[in-house]
Amino acid sequence: MKNYLPRPDLLAGRVILVTGASSGLGRAASLAFARHGATVALLARDEARLEAVYDEIVAAGGPEPAMFPYDLGAADDRSLETLAGTLAHHLKRLDGVLHSAHQFYSLTPLELQTLEQWQALMRVNLIAPFALTRACLPLLKQAPDASVIFTGETHGHHPGAYWGGYAVAKSGLETLTRIWADELGTQDALRINTLIPGQVATTLRSRTHPGLDPETVAGVDDLMPCYLYLMGEDSRTVQGQIIECQP
């Protein structure tokens, strides 16, 4: 999949919502989707950083994006339904969602992790992706070919010590993917999958592996063929899969 060569107009005419769009993989994916013709709805907490991504897309000649400053940690059904309604009103359609926003504290033993931390980890990394997808489901089902991508994590797929609530939340996305895909079936125009980026040079990776030389791991742009493949029509038959971008 990393060798996938998308055509330049792969996402032309599509509207794609990206959470965590202000940095890391979310930012890189937003730029890649726009380069391939998509109108990107940028969602993150930090409005200033969202504006920077907006400016990058416009400067590169991509379709004018939309910005949605929004804190997924404070999300509820009402505000998410309002968000989906705003998308429908201003952008008229929705062809895909990439869930790239995340909450992380530190690598610590379970005995030192608090209830408050677990609640935040579950809320941002698992509950919000479910609830946002559910709110957007009517719009997604109207699209002729729609894709939802949850962002998994290596230690959610292969649990290890000290990853605690973060790994548990990310492993929950894999179960959510399989259940939702089973409910949708293979004939539905909407597909839902989880993509596990693996080791990649991001701010999160520098926090969890401070001694790791960033030159020894993939850069965010190296992974974009995986994201473009799963978001575009070439993955139309891929449903309910847990995909490791770097097995």
Cβ partners under 8 Å of residue 64, min gap 6: 39, 57, 58
Three-state DSSP state, 68: strand
Cβ partners under 8 Å of residue 226, min gap 6: 1, 2, 4, 195, 197, 243, 245
Report the catalytic residues: 166
Can you read off the two tokens belonging to residue 116?
A: 């408050």
Q: How far is CA 200 from CA 31, 63, 244, in A?
A: 17, 28, 12
- Please, what is the angle between helix 77-91 and helix 128-142, to 10°? 30
The C-alpha atoms of residue 51 and residue 71 are separated, in whole angstroms, by 16
Q: Are strands 66-69 and 190-196 parallel, antiparallel or unpaired?
A: unpaired
**Which residue, chain included where needed, has tokens 């990206």?**
18
Instruction: Find, among 247, 245, 230, 241, the residue nearest to 32 by Cα.
Output: 230
Three-state DSSP state, 219: coil
Q: What is the DSSP letter of 232?
A: S
- Beta strands, E only, 26-163: 39-44, 66-69, 96-99, 146-151
Three-state DSSP state, 37: coil
